[in-house]
Amino acid sequence: MIEYKVNKEELHTLLKALGILKDEEHLLLVNNIEMRDPSAEMISILVDTVKNVNMYRTSFEDLTEKELGTVVSQLYAIEQFLLKEFMQVHKHITKGQEELKKRNAGCDVNKDGIPMNVDQQMSEFLQSILNRHRSDES
């Protein structure tokens, strides 16, 4: 993985030029799990209006009651968005761990990487075919 830094204003300009964001909207969050999921055609983004941006730059004590209520509501929305993304990450981790456990569960492998129990079953099956073939020839 490589980390790049992208200029916020340029990103907003691009998203507006593509018609994804309206002039009065501001990108807050992008669901990174959906971005990486090859089966996901769409990704979730969370946007806010530009007029609310200044509320985040002010301490809670300096906000009016209405502004504070708006900020708290928006923080709940951000929390829900992030919880959804966290649960998606957790689900992927769990699936990966289950796959690793499944692959490692009593799986000694032969030199070709075939699990020994599968190798033994194949050998027994081939031996039974050969034995039938030999008995047919007699």
For residue 35, the enclosing domain spans 8-90
pLDDT one-digit tens code per residue, 80-119: 999 999 999 999 899 999 888 877 775 677 778 787 788 8
Question: Has residue 130 got a pLDDT over 80?
Answer: yes
User: CA-CA distance, 34 to 24, in Å (whole number)?
Assistant: 25
**What is the model's pLDDT at position 54?**
62
Q: Is residue 28 part of a domain?
A: yes
Residue 19: inside a domain: yes
Residue 96 lies in a domain: no
Q: Say what the pLDDT of residue 49 is.
A: 80
Question: Is residue 115, in this structure, part of any structural domain at all?
Answer: no
CA–CA separation, 111 and 95 (whole Å): 27
Q: What is the pTM of this model?
A: 0.60
Residue 25 lies in a domain: yes
- Distance between CA atoms of residues 136 and 130, nearest Å: 10
Q: Residues 16-47: pLDDT tens digits?
A: 999 999 988 888 888 888 888 888 899 899 88
Residue 102 belongs to a domain: no
> Nearest Cα to 11, choosing from 1, 2, 25, 3?
25
Model pLDDT for residues 47-89, shown as the tens digit of each residue: 888 676 666 677 889 888 998 898 899 899 999 999 999 999 9
Number of domains in the chain: 1
Residue 100 lies in a domain: no
Q: Which residue has the higher pLDDT, 36 or 135?
A: 36
- pLDDT-based confidence at residue 138 (cuts at 50, 70, 90): low
Residue 57 lies in a domain: yes
How many CA atoms within 13 Å lie on the side-chain side of 77? 13
Structure tokens at 115: 């699990």
